[in-house]
Amino acid sequence: MELQFSRRAALLMLWDIAATFLAYFLASLLTGLVGEVFETHEIYFVLGTAVVINILTYALFRLYNSLWEYASIDDVLRIVLAVGLSTLVEAVVLWMIGHWIPIRVYFGAMIIMIFFVGGSRMGFRILRSKKHMLSPGRSEEHRPRTLIVGAGETGSHAIGRMMDKDPLMPGEPIVAVDDNPAKLHKRIHGVRVMGTSDDIIELVDRFDIEQIVVAIPSATVDERKKIFGICTQTKCQLRTLPNVRELRLDEINDVSLREVDVADLLGREEVVLNTRLVCGYISNETVLVTGGGGSIGSELCRQMCAVGPKRIVVFDMYENDAYLLASEIMRDYEDIECIVEIGSVCDSDRLRDVFEKYRPAVVFHAAAHKHVPLMEMCPREAIQNNVFGTLNTVRLADEFGVDKFIFISTDKAVNPTSVMGATKRMGEMTIQHYAQQSKTVFAAVRFGNVLGSNGSVIPIFKKQIASGGPVTVTHPDIERFFMTIPEASRLVIQAGGMATGGEIFILDMGDPVKIVDLAKSLITLSGLRVDEDIQIKYTGLRPGEKMYEELLMDEENTLPTKMKGIMISTGKEVEFDDVEAKLNSLELALEQDDATALEVLEKAVPTYTFTPNEEG
């Protein structure tokens, strides 16, 4: 039994302790048996047993961690059942230990306790209502007519706060839907459950609904996809909120509605960080994150804070993002030191200074040039940063005895058609090369696109929509794998916990998504109509761009791991001397022109095929 303990729970427990003694005294007084029941001081010790039974039973019925500001008839019934059961257990236990109390006293105490327990909980709702009525600056802004999807605890929470006119939960709840047949035609704070998700479109039209709030955090992936798909067929503003059961009691009243985003529509099961797997190699250690100010690097830093590293060293070329990240971490985690070091992984002397100063036990290498078309225009810069920046970091990790080195790779490294992809594949080969002869555990993690990362299509599409369009897509059939930045970061950290040396971990990216479908979803979520309000324009594949991404090369297979969502590539091992020779030839090519560098890169990465796509 898990009890979320807070000041509110403590106050309720103290009240229930006092109420138990008071209820039995009043029941004895009202039945004329007070002299008999309270004849000796022994009764107070006996009622101490009743107190323990009450507290345990009420905790079992979750009377200390429910949302009493938004209590419904179901919560009242739960109170009645809890008090009735605890009174019955008290009668049996006290009889067994040889202390007899008249039945009518038990019955009277039960009735009084129902009022005491229920009244204390309902008091929270009254206090909250008064608080909102007396709050200064409350405006009478338009409250959109709202349909709630989900009649569970999260839906009840949303409806209750809307009825209290909470500014963080704007809306006027009109009707609710739920796919549980047992909830149909029930009422939540007076709002009727009038159908299932299949009835959403009809109810929106019938009740002039302006806003839909999806409050079903426990729904499966397929259920969420279905519901969001139905909701996006309406013209309503679409919003959602987190599962209130996963929040601390002191966080619940600060939760606000948020816009539904593309990540919600993808319907992926969110990965939870397996702290047992990662504690051993990160907890109380110094961790260096190259490219730590970027979208992936910064989220790696945030996620690893959950397992308590001693120090995080953020190494990046760009000071602003790195500084803001360090300030955020030190504000939220007072026991974690977060330090920013500015520099480039291409500068081996600067990098050496950092390794000498901090002696990291773990390195996450996220620094890279990743923009595909730009790297086609600047191939030597891509080779310098993605290959030799990686080599610099790897050599120093080996020299300074780093325990684990995790290289962030990409699905574009598989059968690459771009310079960026080929350089990242060369980075993987370098990792495998050093893993053969180093005490440091070197491993790579390969995954696809992350939603909202720097340079991804989502921010670009949002800007195009905001400016009135058109939204530009390179090809109607182009597909990509997607996951959220936090999900990718958690999987990278967990893969590091499983690494033993030389592995290329492959993250399960789910099913590929058509880019045009992403564009259409974003337009719809903005309250606009595709091809009516916002046009979609096809521009043709860009240089180095693939139609479809892959996670495995032709000669590769995968092995499962003990962690869901992570696999290991079982491709052909690289030859030690072969990689050494390729790195030497690429280093010489940097002194030549771009054409020579590309030619050498093609020879170094046999699976690389130069693809000069024409821009539209």
Residues 6+ apart with CB under 8 A from 256: 168, 169, 241
Residue 326 lies in a domain: yes
Higher pLDDT, 118 or 319: 319
Q: What is the mean pLDDT of the chain?
A: 82
Higher pLDDT, 63 or 47: 47
Q: What does the pLDDT read at residue 250?
A: 46
pLDDT confidence tier of residue 349, bands split at 50, 70 and 90: very high
117 & 88 share domain: yes
pLDDT in tens, 23-36: 988 988 888 888 88
Residue 543 lies in a domain: no
Residues 180, 153 contacting (CB under 8 angstroms) = no
566 & 447 share domain: yes
92 & 226 share domain: no
406 & 294 share domain: yes
- What is the dihedral sign for C-alpha 279, 285, 289, 293? positive
CA distances from 264 to 270, 462, 477, 556 (A): 10, 16, 22, 32
Whether a cis peptide bond, with omega within 30° of 0, leads into 379 is no
285 & 413 share domain: yes
Q: What does the pLDDT read at residue 137?
A: 46
Q: What does the pLDDT read at residue 439?
A: 95
Structure tokens at 225: 């996809």
Is the pLDDT at 150 greater than 70? The verdict is yes
11 & 107 share domain: yes
Residue 206 lies in a domain: yes
Mean pLDDT (whole number) for 456-468: 81
Structure tokens at 370: 């990743």
Q: What does the pLDDT read at residue 314?
A: 97
Residue 312 lies in a domain: yes
205 & 285 share domain: no
How many domains in the chain?
3
The DSSP bridge partners found for residue 451 are 484
pLDDT in tens, 195-244: 999 999 999 999 999 999 998 877 777 788 788 888 888 888 888 876 55
Residues 6, 250 contacting (CB under 8 angstroms) = yes
User: Which of the listed residues 260, 283, 305 is the one where a domain comes to its end?
Assistant: 260
Distance (Å, rounded) from C-alpha 534 to C-alpha 470? 6
At how many degrees (to 10) do helices 389-399 and 419-435 cross?
20
User: Which of the listed residues 260, 284, 299 is the one where a domain comes to its end?
Assistant: 260
Domain range for 241 is: 145-260
At how many degrees (to 10) do helices 42-60 and 7-30 cross?
130
CATH number where 151 lies: 3.40.50.720
The distance from CA 523 to its chain's CA centroid, rounded to whole angstroms, is 24
Q: Is 247 exposed, middle or buried (0-12, 13-18, 19+ CB in 10 A)?
A: middle
Nearest-10 Cα torsion for 270, 275, 279, 283: 80
Structure tokens at 340: 């920013």
The three-state secondary structure class of 337 is strand
DSSP 8-state symbol, 309: -
Is the pLDDT at 3 greater than 60? The verdict is no
Question: Which of 200-214, 359-373, 447-461, 596-610 is least confident?
Answer: 447-461
Largest distance between two CA atoms of the chain = 105
Nearest to 425 by CA among 288, 571, 591, 593: 571
151 & 186 share domain: yes
492 & 377 share domain: yes
Mean pLDDT (whole number) for 372-378: 90
DSSP 8-state symbol, 228: H
DSSP 8-state symbol, 318: -
Residues 362, 368 contacting (CB under 8 angstroms) = no
Residue 490 lies in a domain: yes
User: Which of the listed residues 77, 111, 134 is the one where a domain comes to its end?
Assistant: 134
333 & 363 share domain: yes
Residues 267, 224 contacting (CB under 8 angstroms) = yes
The DSSP bridge partners found for residue 145 are 172
Structure tokens at 294: 């970027």
Residue 517 lies in a domain: no
Which range has the top average pLDDT, 74-83, 265-274, 344-353, 368-377? 344-353
DSSP 8-state symbol, 537: E
Which range has the top average pLDDT, 140-154, 417-431, 571-585? 417-431
Residue 520 lies in a domain: no
Residues 6+ apart with CB under 8 A from 204: 147, 212, 234, 236
pLDDT confidence tier of residue 134, bands split at 50, 70 and 90: very low
Degrees to nearest 5, angle at CA 527 with 481 and 211: 105
Distance (Å, rounded) from C-alpha 121 to C-alpha 230? 37
Residue 462 lies in a domain: no
Residues 404, 440 contacting (CB under 8 angstroms) = yes
167 & 221 share domain: yes
Structure tokens at 413: 């490294």
Distance (Å, rounded) from C-alpha 524 to C-alpha 527? 5
Q: What does the pLDDT read at residue 552?
A: 55
334 & 357 share domain: yes
pLDDT in tens, 578-600: 888 999 999 999 999 999 999 99
The three-state secondary structure class of 393 is helix
The three-state secondary structure class of 50 is helix
Residues 64, 13 contacting (CB under 8 angstroms) = yes
pLDDT confidence tier of residue 4, bands split at 50, 70 and 90: very low
